[in-house]
Amino acid sequence: MPNTLVFDLDGTIADTARDLIPALNQVIAIDGLASVGMGEIGHLVGHGARVMIERAYALRGRNISEQRLDYLFGRFHDVYSDNIANHTVLFDGSRAAMDRFAQAGWKLAICTNKPVGMTNLLLHELGIVDLFDSISGGDSFTFKKPDPRHLTETIRLAGGRRELAAMVGDSITDIRTAKAAGVPVIAVDFGYSAEPVATLGPDRVIGHFDELWEAVASLFATASP
């Protein structure tokens, strides 16, 4: 069995759209844009604030300059940081699943494209920051997902080995990253993917974190967790 389990954050272990989209709407309101909803923008949550801002403007038929985008991105950073865990919750069963692996001696890690400062703040607010042996964000290195080095460096910093690791994510980015790194990947089907994750080629798909233990075990036939 692998000894390191690496998790994506947004849409994988935490339903962060509950605070990301309100922060986005507060920012685009500066320019008089009507609010956007989860159905319009939710699939872009994992792509970062700049992409969400650009998409919100496109949805409202407005152009946005790079200079204005830079300004609103900065405003978003401030607004979201101040409201990062107002409504965000862990997905059902995620804490229990992570505790089970930790208690069994596994190393746990976070590999997200969210800025590492925001990541640490959110994990602290959710009361789980101490579960992880390494936490890497989109600005932790000079590369980020889908670059496989983001994942392999996260594993290394956790004290683990690539060949003894698995990843859990919710998007095509996570799946591509893991495959490029030679790491098996489990996809959750309740995240923010624009397409059904089963069509994206993960090694396993789960619909609830209660299924994670068996899903990981099935990836490695030589032992069980």
Provide CB contacts within 8 A for 84, sequence distance 6+: 19, 118, 121, 122, 125
Q: What distance lies between CA 8 and its chain's CA centroid?
A: 4
Tell me the backbone φ, ψ of residue 114, rounded to 5 degrees: -65, 140
Assign 137 to helix, strand or coil. Answer: coil
Rounded Cα gap, residues 91 and 200, in angstroms: 21
CA distance 188 to 174: 11
* Active-site option among 8, 15, 133, 170: 8
Q: Under a CB-based contact definition with an 8 Å cutoff, are residues 125 and 85 in contact?
A: yes
Q: Which of 88, 67, 81, 66 has its CA nearest to residue 26? A: 81
Residue 8 falls in the annotated catalytic set: yes
How is residue 66 written in tokens? 């790079």
The structure tokens listed for 205 are 């798909």
Q: Which residues are part of the catalytic machinery?
A: 8
